[in-house]
């Protein structure tokens, strides 16, 4: 009970700054997710059409390497290159979003029975027509699961961006660690969880609606 009233007191006192941190958090992670989607999905589609396996493997390997660098290290490396704040945080997190988006989209399109694509071609579909009318709709659940997985990752990793001056809910968590305040730590954590869960819900709804209609 005391804990609840403590939380309540903290929230009423500092809701303005909590909202600001939440806003910063959303700004960083949503920018990353949008950038990631608009870069990775077309790239993955293009990769399915690629004949050269070497280049394909190289792209996957690069994305894989980014995924294995500890986030703190990648963020720190970004500072001399892109400075402090929003930009380096977005670049670093963007690199993390690559692999799940690439892999899922690629796997989704690759999983389509070649005979179906062949049949479409036989019916006179152009490459683009077959892509948009057949391949992408069939691969859609895979693509969506890639988007959902990377979104959840990115929202949670955005907390680390506070280390390089980008703000966000990580600021609240780190401040709580340094200032011995559990309310700050938990508020930052809960807010980040809420953003992730809400976005996942929205994406799930979207998926159902689009998939249902296609």
Partner 1 sequence: MKQRLLVGLSTMSLIMAGCGNGDENGEEFTSAAATSTDAKLNVQMVKSLVEDQTDHTVEIVEDLPASPQIFAGIERGEFDIASLYSGEVHNNYFDEVEYTTDPDETLEQAQTFFGEEYDIKWYDPIGFINNYSIGVQESFAEENNIETVTDLGEYADELTLGTDNAWIERDNDGYRGFQEAYGYEFADARGMDVSLMYDGIANGEVDVVTTYTVDPQIIENDLEVLEDDQEFFPPYESSLVATNEVVDSHPEINEILESMVDLISTEEMTDLMYEVEIEERDTKQVADEFLQEKGMLD
Under the binding rule (CB under 8 A), the answer on residue 177 touching partner 1 is yes
Q: Binding residue for partner 1 (CB under 8 A) from 43, 138, 174, 193?
A: 174
Q: Which two tokens stand for residue 37?
A: 């989607």
Q: Which two tokens stand for residue 42?
A: 């077309």
Under the binding rule (CB under 8 A), the answer on residue 197 touching partner 1 is no
Segment interacting with partner 1, rule: CB under 8 A, options 46-54, 55-63, 75-83, 137-145: 75-83
Under the binding rule (CB under 8 A), the answer on residue 85 touching partner 1 is yes
Segment interacting with partner 1, rule: CB under 8 A, options 80-88, 91-99, 103-111, 192-200: 80-88
Q: Residue 128's Cα: distance from chain center in Å?
A: 27
Under the binding rule (CB under 8 A), the answer on residue 164 touching partner 1 is yes
Under the binding rule (CB under 8 A), the answer on residue 176 touching partner 1 is yes
Q: Binding residue for partner 1 (CB under 8 A) from 4, 51, 179, 212?
A: 179
Instruction: Please state, in angstroms and rounded to a whole number, the distance separating the CA atoms of residues 89 and 4.
Output: 34
Segment interacting with partner 1, rule: CB under 8 A, options 53-61, 126-134, 161-169, 206-214: 161-169
Tokens 């309540």, located at residue: 8
Rounded to a whole number of angstroms, the minimum distance from the CB of residue 117 to partner 1 is 50
Q: Binding residue for partner 1 (CB under 8 A) from 110, 181, 200, 207?
A: 181
Q: Binding residue for partner 1 (CB under 8 A) from 45, 120, 172, 196?
A: 172
Q: What is the per-residue DSSP string for 169-194?
A: HHHHHHHHHHHT-HHHHHHHHHHHHH
Cβ-contact 166, 89 below 8 angstroms: yes
Q: Binding residue for partner 1 (CB under 8 A) from 84, 194, 198, 201?
A: 84
Under the binding rule (CB under 8 A), the answer on residue 163 touching partner 1 is yes
Q: Which two tokens stand for residue 193?
A: 């969880």
Q: What is the per-residue DSSP string for 43-73?
A: HHHHHHH---HHHHHHHHHHHHHHHHS-HHH
Cβ-contact 128, 45 below 8 angstroms: no
Under the binding rule (CB under 8 A), the answer on residue 17 touching partner 1 is yes
Q: Beta-carbon neighbour count of residue 140 at 10 Å?
A: 16
């Amino acid at each position: 009970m005391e804990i609840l009233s403590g939380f309540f007191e903290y929230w009423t006192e500092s809701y303005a700054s909590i909202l600001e941190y939440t806003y910063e958090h959303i700004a960083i992670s949503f920018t990353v997710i949008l950038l990631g989607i608009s870069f990775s999905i077309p790239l993955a589609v293009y990769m399915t059409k690629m004949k050269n396996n070497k280049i394909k493997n190289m792209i996957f390997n690069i994305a894989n390497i980014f995924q294995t660098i500890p986030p703190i290290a990648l963020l720190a490396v970004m500072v001399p290159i892109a400075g402090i704040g929003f930009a380096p945080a977005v670049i670093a997190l963007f690199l993390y979003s690559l692999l799940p988006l690439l892999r899922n989209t690629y796997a989704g399109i690759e999983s389509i029975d070649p005979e179906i694509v062949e049949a479409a071609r036989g019916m006179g579909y152009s490459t683009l027509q077959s892509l948009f009318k057949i391949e992408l709709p069939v691969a859609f659940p895979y693509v969506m699961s890639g988007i959902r997985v990377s979104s959840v990752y990115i929202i949670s990793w955005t907390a680390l961006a506070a280390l390089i001056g980008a703000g966000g809910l990580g600021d609240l968590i780190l401040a709580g660690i340094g200032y011995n305040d559990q309310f700050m730590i938990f508020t930052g954590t809960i807010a980040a969880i809420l953003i992730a869960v809400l976005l996942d819900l929205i994406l799930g709804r979207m998926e159902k609606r689009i998939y249902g209609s296609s």
